[in-house]
Structure 1
Amino acid sequence: MRDAILSIRDRLDGFGVFLSGLCAVHCLLGLILVPLIGLGGGVLLSPRIHEAGLALAITVGVVTLGLSALRHGRLQPALIGALGIVLMALALGVGHGTREAVLTIAGVALVATAHLQNLRAAV
């Protein structure tokens, strides 16, 4: 049973890294494609995408980073991940544009770093 729980946690860390990458790509596409060619502005810039992504990031982050901190006793990944989630939440309040993208990309980079630290600590 313990191995199954650890496997799920490791998969969630991997999913957290993947989700962070998707979020960064989404931000970059929004900055580049929408102003240049007007492609998908209604979809790419929808606040619902950001809200859903943040909710998912918080859920995966709290569960995975919290369980990992309990398992290996290192608080650093959880604190880094929490800071990343705060930056992503702040990005929701600044409106679309460069500031939003910078906050979001910095946040997802921190969250991905925290997940990677957890995966390394689990080995």
Structure 2
Amino acid sequence: MSHPPSSSQPSLRARLDRAGIVLSSLCLVHCLASIAVVATLGLGGQWLLAPEIHRWGLALAVVIAGVAIGWGALRHRQRTPFVVAMVGLTFMGGALAAPHGLQEAVLTIIGVVLVSIGHILNLRRAH
């Protein structure tokens, strides 16, 4: 049984997708800036590389992607945005298990790029 969509559903989902893209972009900037600042100046490692930032970022990404992309997948019946985003979240989760350093940064960067692509695909599928 299909319910008619309310006018607020697409705009709320689209806003969540955009929030996911912004969050992914901020995470990418954080990763790159942290590497640059810690490597060149040796400053801020205890704060910039704190695991809590990564855990909270991943939790927020999971909620936003789960709602926006899951909702989108149910509406437009396309799996690709969901699969791409979930693979990205898996990379981000894997980064939490990696030791701080290049490996963690690479896994996180791959993850946030894939999550962002999932949100972009989700926005495109909705139109």
TM-score by length of 1: 0.96
Match of 1:82 in 2: 86
1:71 is the counterpart of 2:75? yes
Separation in structure 2 between the aligned mates of residue 63 and residue 95 of structure 1, nearest angstrom: 30
Q: Where does the alignment leave 5 or more consecutive residues of structure 1 unmatched?
A: none
Return the letter of the residue paired with 2:19: F
Deviations 1:83-108 (A, max 9, x none): 00000000001111111111000000
Partner SS state of residue 2, structure 1: coil
Q: Where does the alignment leave 5 or more consecutive residues of structure 2 unmatched?
A: none
Deviations 1:13-44 (A, max 9, x none): 00000000001111111111112112322221
Identical aligned pairs, as a percentage?
A: 46
Deviations 1:44-68 (A, max 9, x none): 1111000000000000111111100
Match of 1:47 in 2: 51
Length, aligned pairs only: 123
Return the letter of the residue paired with 1:51: R
Structure 1 vs Structure 2 CA RMSD: 1.0
Partner SS state of residue 100, structure 2: coil
Larger Rg: 2
Match of 2:13 in 1: 9
Question: Which of 96, 99, 102 is the equivalent residue of 1:98?
Answer: 102
